Every structure is written in structure tokens, then in C-alpha cells.
Structure 1
Amino acid sequence: MKKKIIIFDTTLRDGEQALQASLNSNKKIQIALALERMGVDVIEAGFPISSPGEFKSIESISKLLKTSKICSLARCLKKDIDTAAQAMKHAAESRIHLFLGTSNLHISSKLKKSFNEITDMAVSSVIRARKYTNDVEFSCEDAGRTSLHNLYKIIEAVIDAGATTINIPDTVGYTTPTQFKKIIQNIFDHVKNIHKVIVSVHCHNDLGMAVGNSISAVEAGARQIEGTMNGLGERAGNAALEEVIMALYVHQNVLKKYTNINYKEIYKTSKIVSQFCNMPISINKAIVGKNAFLHSSGVHQDGVLKNRKNYEIINPIKIGLNNCKLNLTSRSGRSAVEHRMQEMGYHKNDYNLNELYIDFLKLADKKGQIFDYDLEALAFFKKQQNTEEYFKLEYFDVQSKLSGLSVASIILICGSQTNIQKATTSNGPVDAIYQALNKATLYPIILKKFHLVANGEGKDALGKVDIVVQYKLRNFHGVGLATDIIEASAQAMVNVLNYIWKSNQVNKELEKLNK
């Protein structure tokens, strides 16, 4: 029989501690609701004694959660416990999470008490918390560096006092999976009343082993894993919940464990947390990174096209992604190029794959990543590479005011004709000039990416604008370079518009041939 693993999320508490600025109440609520949609069992919403704003956020969240249990953190102090209970008074279900340092280092240098004194503190705090709720969690802070004898003693005492969950944190990410697993096994073997509670783990990633330690603890009998989305947290962060959850899923037949997680919400929730916390996700981050399901090697791409299981242990659809991606670079093989051409709607008899692939490799060596329009240009415009562009920006003028409207006027040369347009927007000068260009071309495009970087240093640095737009389900990439970032932005869009025009011309020629 498979046993359920309780997923305890502390993104709003431990995760927020790592942010440069505190989250406002609205963002915390949105994250909490996203975590609930994902199926998280317990959401640690914060540390209410820390500030009035924190208290109000927890109070607001407690009123909204319907399926997830809300939890508040408290030190082993009367005021902390009372405040935690008060913040969650509207909750359908609540948990008070107590913590106290148990290692000799914490006891002597931080708490400056004896072990017997901190044991008494822990017991009296659990008893007080039980007056407010029948769900009390006790954390042995720095358990990874606490002597086993002391660990057994304090755990047994707080269980007798009424604790329902015992959390064993590797607070500073000190242990290895083998060491941590042994600690959990020893607790089960030597604490006589351990069967009365859920054993939880809370691992930090200082040595990069938070997820490994968490899974090893499950193997030893732990039934709750604490962590954060995207691995946010103090220093090197916490165990990344998306990694823990998918590790349990992939190895469910071996571990004999399951969760109540709605897997399709994982990717979306990760992005919400990243956006609201202003914490970008590393492109090679497991499960939710941009490259997690992206294949560049020609051998890998060929294998994925034949059977995705060759190089994917998780179907990206499982976590809410539509599909895997083939990153077209000089490492890509013929099969990947042919596959992308088919996705764009071209047939084998529309182009010469051997000639296209030779030209593709040459361009990829120079450019790096190859986009859809590059393939079309190589396949159908090789003889016209030196022809003039169809669209030329002859003139532009942008006027913008602080907290006001931006107005852009342009003169765009469209082949042999001149198109003059004007656009007004409240979204700034770049948006104004883009709207004017759209009016001139009438292309139904969607801006997917806008990236601005400075090339060089000082006042003479060039602004490089890198954009990706979607047009009829295809991505087109454009680059603009100028000392004026508005001009660079305009150049990038005109660059894209020319690629779209060329693509449309190709389609017209192919339609004639097919007729």
C-alpha cells in the first residue's frame, strides 16, 4: 500500500526571508491561492509576530483557504503563540508551528540556556499552543547538528505534551543523504512514542543536497516534506518542492508513496512565485527551468522525435507545459530541422533538406540559435539575400510625459509606397511606436519577449533591443542597436516586420506552385 506524503509549503515564510523586499498582502494571497490550486496540504503563511503587515496577510489568507491548512510560525514564547493563534482565528483548519534550537551550538551561543531549560520551554509552549488548536508542529532547529541523545529526549517530551508533528530540520544544509537518513531511522528506533506523530523534514540546500536529504528521509519513514517553490529560502534556499514532488512521482513504485498534488499546476505556480518574488528561475533549473525540457544535441533531438522517453523521464505535459522544445543550434541534426519545417507547415518537396542543412549549420555557427524565419530565409531566399528590405523606417517622433500619454508619429516606407501613421498610448514610448508600426502594416502580431541590454560602457554605450514576436503561431526574432533605446526598439520591430513580409511572400509563391 502506498502511503501519502504531506506537502508542507513555506514559500511565504522561509522563502520570503530571502527576498530583497517583502511581499505585499495581495501578492501573498495570490501565491497562497496558487499553492492551494496545486494541492499543497499545509501552507505556512508567515511569522505573524514579526510585523502588523505580516499578521494581516496571514489573517486574510486564513479567510480564503478552503482545502489547504494554514500554518503560522512561532517561537517558544507566549506572545508569539497567542499572536499566531489570533492571526488564524478565521481559518477552517490551522496549525501552530513552534521552533527552538536544540544543538549545543544554538543552546549555548544563541539561547544561552541549558538543555533542560529549553526542553521545559518547548513543553510549556506545546501545551499553550494546544489550547488554540489540536494541530501543533514542533521543530528541533539545527537537528542535523544536535546530539542524538538530546534529540530523542526533547522529541519524546514534546510528544507527551501534545505535539502532533515533529519536524527534523537540517537548518544549515550540513548533512549528506546517508547521514540524514540515519538520523531519521535512529529517531524511529529510539523515541518510544514516535508512532503517535507525523515525522517531518525541512532541509536546506547549502551543500546542494536538500532534495536528496528529503527523499532519503522519506525512505526512512518521514511522512511530511517541507520546502518552497523554486527552492527559495535563506542562503542557498530550501528543498525545491517541484523537484521533491516529481521525484516522488517518478519513483512512486519504488518508494511506495503518493501526494495529493495537482501536477498540471506546478509550472504555472512556479512562474507565479518567480514573478511576484522577482526571483528569476535559472534556465537549467530542474523541472521548471527554461531548458528542463529543451533538447539541443542532434542525437538527443533525434531520439526525442522517435520516442520522447529516450531523453525525458517526465512528460512536460504532466507539469502543465504544452510540449518539449527543440533548440535549433549547430548541435542540431537533420531530423530536428526537418521536424521544425514540418511544424511550420512545409512539405518535403517544398525545399531541399540536404542543401538547407548545410546552410543551416553555417548560419548556426555564426548566430547561435536559429529561429523559424532563419530556416525560411535559408530554404527560400538564398538567392535574394542581398535584396533591399521591404519596410524602412524613414522618420519617427515620440513624445512622452511622466504619468501621461505617449504619442508616436512615423513615416514607414513599404516597398514603393509611403505610409504615415500616428498612435497614442498610456503604456510608454516603446508601445506607442510599436502601435504606430502595427497600424502601418496591419500584421496581427503579439510581442512575446522584449529584452534590453547595454553594449559597452558609459554614455556612448549602445542599447541593444532583442525581441520575439508571434505571428500566426510562428516566432520571429528581431534585433535593434542604437544609442537611443527608442530607436533601437523601433529597429528591432522593423527587422521583425521584414522577416514576416518575406515569410508571407514565400507562402504566396508556394501556393502558386501547389496550384
Structure 2
Amino acid sequence: MMDVTKYGVGYYPAPKSEYRWVRKDHIDKAPAWCSVDLRDGNQSLIVPMSLEEKLEFFGLLVKIGFKEIEVGFPAASETEYEFLRTLIEQDLIPPDVTVQVLTQCRDHIIRKTFEAVQGAPSAVIHFYNSTSVAQREQVFKKSKSEIKKIATDGAALVKQLAAEYPGNFRFEYSPESFTGTEPEYALEVCNAVLDSLEPTPEKPVIINLPVTVAMSMSHVYANQIEYMSDNLKYRNSVVLSLHPHNDRGCGVADTELALLAGADRVEGTLFGNGERTGNVDVITLAMNLYTHGVDPHLDFSDMPAIVELYERVTRMHVYERTPYAGALVFAAFSGSHQDAIAKGMNWRKEHGLHQWTVPYIPVDPTDIGRTYDADVIRINSQSGKGGIGYLLQQKFGYDLPPKMREHFGYTVKAVSDHAHKELPPEEVFGVFRSTYLNKQSPVSVQEAHFIQKSGIFAVVTVSVNGQARECSGQGNGRLDAVCNAVKAACGMDFTIETYSEHSLEHGSTSEAAAYVGLRWADGSTTWGAGTDTDIIQAGIKALASAVNNK
């Protein structure tokens, strides 16, 4: 049974809340990014990645554009030690990429970390200790001064070893469980660490303030970040970093508001993979910037390939509704949505717009390696005529007249409803083909010859149930003349209510497509479509198809 009384406020609001960040309505530049996929992400997997898989993932992160990549906890695991050494010894770290290694504030672990990182082009030594009330009281059973000493002792040792070992080292300190720490005390510890490390603008120190466990609403975290940013010593020599987890489902919101509040850097993972509910999703953050016109300096132009590699090496699944990357995030099944999207796409094309303003679709799918026809308009029993017609036009080149498009929409929806499934584009086209296109039974027009005589006079050979007969008809145009001949041959009563045509540019063909809607004496309407390299023949085939649909 649920019992709300056991829970209370476990976080500590900032003592001075200026709320300056509230007055900003957007983030105007990308933060520095650090991928922690190979540490947080890997340690959260049921089956951690093999060495080969880690190397492949590292290559992906480099390709995407990460300049800082946390590669593991080399002093705590032989596997992670081997991975780091492989990167270094096989010269797999580009000169503009910095590897980051994690270590607790413990003497022997820090020393082994420096051994592991020897030879790297550049490295961030990320040391941490927990400062929260719960950890101080329940885990370490130490006072505030004792916890602070762990941090400053760690800082002194990394500074000493950096001077003893060859290499280009930078430092990062995290007061782990920052969100469960009194902000005044977190500030005291961080400033003590900074005093020990003595950062300069040329060699800044990263102060990382993690949402190790999310405890508050996002604005509380933003206030904490603003407070720290305002009060940290050496602020022009400090890179203020974020490391949000997603326990409350607010990882992206926490990060975006904290960036408004003064943070400079973000640690996160692709697709938010991490412990418990995960780390913040860097892809969502970066693409949110992109859709606001801010270059994230990360390349997600081939999202399907990123998803494929990620799923293969982590054995995790990218949820279909994951922002930007999920298989269905651009999919519109709703008829009204499909209609709006189709009209928006056409509006953009007709007006030659560069700006992206299409309804319901916040980013151009082609920017991230997706397609309109396969990803945007998806067809099932909820779909509408606009979307179905748009798919047929974009994928196969057939631009149906409006009333025929409506008839076709209901036909496709009925097929999907009966089958209880989504119809892929090829099946949608199959319904169109079998229902309307070039239907030549039981009636077909085998030959037609025309004479200019009081309009157009047509001599037509019509086959009805396999029996050919010659007949004639007069009309104000060729198709009208053929129509009157067919009516005479078949004893039918109809008129052409709708006719349209266009060139059909699809594949390697150079055909014309024609559409005919017939109004019958009983008030019903039938539709047909025809294709041929000759536009007159295409119209005649469309006429026969419409007759055969009675």
C-alpha cells in the first residue's frame, strides 16, 4: 500500500535566489559536452560492452563530435584499465579529444589512475567524494570538516601527481550527491578544492555539480546552480559543469534551466542511458538547441546509423517515442495531423521557404537522416485522406483529384481497419493499383480513331466481357467522344464529372497519369486511373477503370 507520509523534502534550496535565469527565454550557445556513455552508460548495462564494442562506441562519439569523453574508472576495473591503455597505445585518441577518467578521493586509486592515463594526448582527472547529508550521516559517518578534508586531500594529491607525471592534465571535482547537500556547504567544499588547485583562465578547473539523485523540481536546481555560479571563487577560471540524472523524469529540464542559470558544460549520454532511470539525454538537449537555431556542435545528421550502433553494442532499445531518434517520433497516424503536415509540406515547397514551419513536425526529418514518405506519414485506420494522398504523391508520384483522394482514403482505412495493422507504402500503393489503376475488365477500349467533325468524332473498338464491338461517338473532346461511344456500346448512363492529368515522374518511366470520376444516373460516383506514355490513352484507360468500378 502506498504511504505518502514517509516522504518529505530531501533537498536544500539555495539561500539566495535571484532568479535571473527566469528572465531568459532561450539558450543562446551550446555548452561544452562530455559523453559519459563509456562510464555511466556502460556500468548501467545488464551485459557491459566488450573491449571491441567500447572501441567502436568511442569511434562513434568522436565522429559525432564530442571533444571530451569519460572513458571509465580505470583504477577500479581491469577491463576499464585495458580499454584506456588500448586507446592510448593504439593511438586512437584524436589530438583534439580529451579523455576523462574517474577516481574516488582515495590515495591508491588516484595514483593508479595517473598510471593508467600516461601517454594520453590530454586527460581530465575527475575526482569526487560524496557530500550529502544522507551520505555523511549514513554511509561515511563523518563530520562536515572530515568530508571536506577528503576532498582537499584528493585535490592536493592530483595536483602533486600532475606535476610528477608527464602529460597534459586538467582537473574536475564533483561533490557527489550535490542535490542532497546544503548549497552553502557544497560551496564551502568546492571553494576549498579550488584554493588547493589554484586554477587560472589558461588552465581552468571543472566544478561538476551532479544531480546524482533527482530530488527537486527543475527550478530549484537552477537556483542552486545560479547560487554556486555567483559565489564560486576563481569564477573566470572555473568551468561550471552539470551531470543530471533522470529520477524524476526532469533530466532535460534540469539541464536546460541550469544552463540558463550559468552552467558552462554538460555531462550526459546518448539516449539517456545510465543508472536507474538514466542520465540526461545529450541527443535531446543538442537537438533542442538545433531546433532553436543554435549550433550544438554535435553531428546527428545520420540518426538511424547512431541508433543502430547504439542498440547493437549496448543491447538496449531506443524507445519508439524517444525524442528525435525514436522510430515513431515523426509518424502521424491521425487524419487531421496528416492533412496539416501534407499542406505544410506543400506550402513550404510552393513558397520556396528555407525556414522550417511545418505543423506538428518540429525538425526537418531529412536533417537527421530520416525521410518524409517513410517516417512522417504512416497509414492505419486512423489516417485521413490528406496523409494517404500525400504519401501516394510523394512516394509514387500519383496526385489524385480531391474527391478521388477522399474516396481512396476511406478505401485504405477500411483495408487497415479490417487487417488491424499499419499499411506500409507499398501496400497503400497496392490498394490504389487494384482499386483504380488500368482496370480493363469487363470493359476495355482496344482502339480509338478520331476525326475532326463538328467537334470530335470517335470510332472506337470496345471489348465487353471479351466480345469486341465497334461503335462511335461524338463529343467536344477526344475523351468525351470515347465516353459517348462506350455508353452506346454498353448501354450505360453516366457523365464525366471529374478529369485531371499530370506527368508521372517516378522511377525511370516517363508516363502520364489521368484520373476520371463518373457520375451515374443513380447518383453514384466511380473513380478510375490510367497511365500511358500517351496522355489520351491514359485518359481512356482511366475512363475504362471508372466504368469497371461500377
CA 1:329 to 1:229, structure 2 compared with 1: closer, same or farther past 3 Å?
Answer: same
1:213 positional shift: 0.3
Corresponding residue number in structure 2 for 1:361: 413
Q: Out of 157, 176, 191, which is 2:217 matched to?
A: 176
| Larger deviation, residues 336-345 vs 134-143 | 336-345
CA 1:188 to 1:244, structure 2 compared with 1: closer, same or farther past 3 Å?
Answer: same
For residues 403-462 of structure 1, give each alpha carbon's deviation from its aligned partner in whole angstroms, at most 9, with x where no partner exists.
Answer: xxxxxxxxxxxxxxxxxxxxxxxxxxxxxxxxxxxxxxxxxxxxxxxxxxxxxxxxxxxx
Aligned residues of 2:85 and 2:117 also touching (Cα < 8 A): yes
1:223 positional shift: 0.3
1:330 matched to 2:356? no
Distance in 2, matches of 1:239 and 1:246, equals 13
Gaps of 5+ in 1: 385-471, 474-506
Distance in 2, matches of 1:107 and 1:228, equals 28
CA 1:185 to 1:64, structure 2 compared with 1: closer, same or farther past 3 Å?
Answer: same
| Larger deviation, residues 356-365 vs 277-286 | 356-365
SS at 1:43 equivalent: strand
Q: Out of 120, 132, 144, which is 2:179 matched to?
A: 144
Corresponding residue number in structure 1 for 2:324: 287
Distance in 2, matches of 1:355 and 1:2, equals 48
1:197 positional shift: 0.6
Corresponding residue number in structure 2 for 1:95: 124
1:293 positional shift: 1.5
For residues 88-117 of structure 1, give each alpha carbon's deviation from its aligned partner in whole angstroms, at most 9, with x where no partner exists.
Answer: 222211111111101111122222322212
Corresponding residue number in structure 2 for 1:304: 341
Aligned residues of 1:45 and 1:61 also touching (Cα < 8 A): no
CA 1:207 to 1:300, structure 2 compared with 1: closer, same or farther past 3 Å?
Answer: same
1:195 matched to 2:236? yes
Corresponding residue number in structure 2 for 1:414: none
Corresponding residue number in structure 2 for 1:160: 195
Letter in structure 2 aligned against 1:295: A
Identical positions, percent? 24
Q: If each structure's helix is expressed as a fraction of its own residues, which one has the higher value? A: 1
CA 1:509 to 1:249, structure 2 compared with 1: closer, same or farther past 3 Å?
Answer: closer
Distance in 1, matches of 2:119 and 2:171, equals 17
Aligned residues of 1:6 and 1:259 also touching (Cα < 8 A): no
Letter in structure 2 aligned against 1:293: F
Could you say what the CA RMSD is over the residues aligned between the two structures, in angstroms?
2.8
Q: Out of 35, 53, 59, which is 2:85 matched to?
A: 59
Distance in 1, matches of 2:152 and 2:397, equals 72
For residues 232-265 of structure 1, give each alpha carbon's deviation from its aligned partner in whole angstroms, at most 9, with x where no partner exists.
Answer: 0010001000011112233357xxxx54212325
Aligned residues of 1:242 and 1:266 also touching (Cα < 8 A): no
1:195 positional shift: 3.2
Aligned residues of 1:228 and 1:238 also touching (Cα < 8 A): yes
For residues 458-507 of structure 1, give each alpha carbon's deviation from its aligned partner in whole angstroms, at most 9, with x where no partner exists.
Answer: xxxxxxxxxxxxxx99xxxxxxxxxxxxxxxxxxxxxxxxxxxxxxxxx9
Larger radius of gyration between Structure 1 and Structure 2:
2
1:341 matched to 2:369? no
Distance in 2, matches of 1:84 and 1:341, equals 60
1:31 positional shift: 0.7
Distance in 1, matches of 2:65 and 2:221, equals 27
Q: Out of 317, 321, 334, which is 2:370 matched to?
A: 321
Corresponding residue number in structure 1 for 2:523: none
Corresponding residue number in structure 2 for 1:37: 63
Letter in structure 2 aligned against 1:294: A
SS at 1:72 equivalent: strand
Corresponding residue number in structure 1 for 2:444: none
TM-score (norm 2): 0.66
SS at 1:154 equivalent: helix
Distance in 2, matches of 1:143 and 1:30, equals 33
Distance in 1, matches of 2:128 and 2:302, equals 31
SS at 1:264 equivalent: coil
SS at 1:310 equivalent: coil
1:72 matched to 2:77? no
Letter in structure 2 aligned against 1:187: M
TM-score (norm 1): 0.71
Q: Out of 286, 306, 311, which is 1:274 matched to?
A: 311
SS at 2:298 equivalent: coil
Distance in 2, matches of 1:171 and 1:70, equals 22
Gaps of 5+ in 2: 1-26, 163-167, 200-204, 346-357, 438-506, 509-528, 542-550
1:228 matched to 2:281? no
CA 1:380 to 1:315, structure 2 compared with 1: closer, same or farther past 3 Å?
Answer: closer
For residues 155-204 of structure 1, give each alpha carbon's deviation from its aligned partner in whole angstroms, at most 9, with x where no partner exists.
Answer: 10111121600000111121211100000111123333333210001111
Corresponding residue number in structure 2 for 1:242: 283
Corresponding residue number in structure 2 for 1:461: none
Letter in structure 2 aligned against 1:154: V
Corresponding residue number in structure 2 for 1:113: 142
Distance in 2, matches of 1:178 and 1:208, equals 14
Distance in 2, matches of 1:79 and 1:320, equals 47
1:3 positional shift: 4.8
Corresponding residue number in structure 2 for 1:371: 424
CA 1:103 to 1:34, structure 2 compared with 1: closer, same or farther past 3 Å?
Answer: same
